[in-house]
Amino acid sequence: MPTLNVPRLPIFGWHSIQSGQSDASLPAVLDIPNLVWTSSGRAAIAFALREMGVGAGDRILVPTYHCPTMVAPIVAVGAEPLFYPISATGAPQLDKIAAMDLSAVRGMIAAHYFGLPQPMKMVREFCDQRGISFIEDCAHAMFGMADGQAIGTWGDYAIASLTKFFPVLEGGCLVSARHRLREAPERSRSLRDELKNVVDVLETAARFHRLTGLDAGLSALLSLKDRFRLREKGCTDNLSGDSVNLPDVVGEGLANFEKNSPVWFSPNRGTRWMATHANRENIISLRRRNYQLLAQKLADMAGAHPLFPVLEEGAAPYVFPLSVDNPDRYYQRLRASGVPIFRWDWRWPSTPEEEGDIGALWSRHVFQIGCHQDLRLDDIDAIVETIKGLLRNE
């Protein structure tokens, strides 16, 4: 079976900056007041912890289904992650959390998994009743509504990742609808950093022929890939799904969240411009289309099923979650085939397993399949045929 050649993340093209800002059908995290740009979603979590004054001896509630980079900033500031169970819908099991020892808990992180908004009103009330700060993790959900309210506005703080929704190579943000945020300490970006970012964005656009009329001239930039490629570590900000070296993530330590660390770099000017000028409605509508096509085409398949076959209104999905019966048999084969796929199979070492918690099950069985706006209809068909072909031939 030939290897697919489909983009794993959004890529820049003429369509990226067409009109579509003001008439977007869903609100965006970037519209929330009190916004600070960060280098990544992970850095935004670190900044939120700093705003909360979290340090040694404090504890933060974290879901059992997570990427290690969600936990690393907590450990880096000397605090302790306290893992809580989630339900089959991905919502926090608040009754079980209430029965836990919550002493020294300063905050709680709750996520909108896969870009599908979770109910947040009860989480907000739970935190308010206990004097706990609420960090709303919107790394998977740049656009959407939850419980009749814009995502990102339920938390004391909300974090988001730019690379998952826009054709950019870096960037995240911390926002708050409830608190003023201090300016992020940051170092100036060098001209070299700015230029290599632009080169890499254009290079990828040329490879996938998304800049009609300029592709031929830009193809010469491909030879500069190794020199100018920006590499991001960690699955919080990376759709590649490559394994994260957990000691490296933890080893960055507190120093990486201080003033002079690269983690405090604000995204370059081109990244910020793209995030604020992108065609939002194009992003929302095409992601919804691709998700619904995958749900339709992968239904009634032996050996796997869509985790959430119905896409609710108010969602602009990040990925399409597919539950696979025999995941270890197929995961690496699907990745090698070129399907834009990954899973969160590496959880923090101290993450517990308990009856009724879906976190451990999802970490193995749920494959997150790309459904971003730059996947064309033939890409979707190729992804579906590859998945069905591999599962059918076993």
CATH of the domain at 286: 3.90.1150.10
Q: What order of strands is seen across the sheet that includes strand 133-137?
A: 35-38, 172-175, 157-161, 133-137, 105-111, 59-63, 80-84
Residues 155 and 285 in one domain: no
| Claim to verify: residue 31 and residue 145 sit in the same structural domain | yes
- Do 285 and 170 share a structural domain? no
Domain CATH for 45: 3.40.640.10
pLDDT in tens, the chain (394 residues): 678 888 888 876 656 665 545 578 999 999 998 999 988 898 899 999 999 999 999 999 999 999 998 999 999 889 999 999 999 999 999 999 999 999 999 999 999 999 999 999 999 999 999 999 999 999 999 999 999 999 999 999 999 999 999 988 888 999 999 999 887 655 556 666 666 666 666 666 666 666 555 555 555 555 555 444 444 344 544 433 344 455 454 444 444 444 444 455 567 777 888 888 889 999 999 999 999 999 999 998 989 999 999 999 999 999 999 999 999 999 999 999 999 999 998 899 899 999 999 999 999 999 999 999 999 999 999 999 999 999 886 5
Evaluate whether residue 46 is within a structural domain.
yes
- Answer whether residue 99 is part of any domain: yes
What backbone torsions phi and psi does residue 196 show, to the nearest 5 degrees?
-70, -30
Domain-ending residue, one of 128, 154, 175: 175
Our count of domains for the chain comes to 2
Q: Does residue 221 form part of some domain? A: no
- How many Cα atoms are found within 13 Å in the side-chain-facing hemisphere of 186? 19
Residue 365, Cα to own-chain centre: how many angstroms?
18
Same domain, 32 and 161: yes
Q: Which tokens hold the place of 360?
A: 């451990």
The answer to whether position 152 is within a domain reads yes
Domain boundary residue, one of 144, 175, 206: 175
| pTM for this prediction | 0.86
Is residue 96 one of the residues assigned to a domain? yes
- Is 136 a member of any domain? yes
Question: What's the CA gap between 380 and 386, in Å, rounded?
Answer: 10
Domain membership of residue 38 as a residue range: 23-175
**Of the candidates 140, 175, 210, which is a domain's last residue?**
175
**Same domain as 286, residue 168:** no
Residues 30 and 149 in one domain: yes
